[in-house]
Amino acid sequence: MSNMTYCRFRNTLPDLRDCADAMWETDVSPEEHEARRQLIQACRDIVAEADDNEWLEEPCQEAVEAE
């Protein structure tokens, strides 16, 4: 099931960190190995996109409004 838009990053971050911790495990199924490969590519795509955007360094609108 998908995460709700208001908490998708907070909900995904612990799982992504768990995957990072298990990245070099070798006893995985072929399906899990392929999913790991796709996850690495998705992370590369995210980093490339983030590097091209200055918005990542800016505070979010809600943080600005709370000040």
Is residue 3 in some structural domain?
Answer: no
For 53, the domain range is: 8-66
Query: Digits of tens for pLDDT over the chain (67 positions)?
Result: 567 888 999 999 999 999 999 999 999 999 999 999 999 999 999 999 888 887 777 776 665 565 5
pTM across the whole model: 0.72
Is residue 1 in some structural domain?
Answer: no
d(CA 37, CA 31): 10
Q: How many domains in the chain?
A: 1
The full DSSP string for 6-45 is TTHHHHHHHHHHHHHHTTT-----HHHHHHHHHHHHHHHH
CA-wise closest residue to 23 among 35, 5, 8, 10: 35
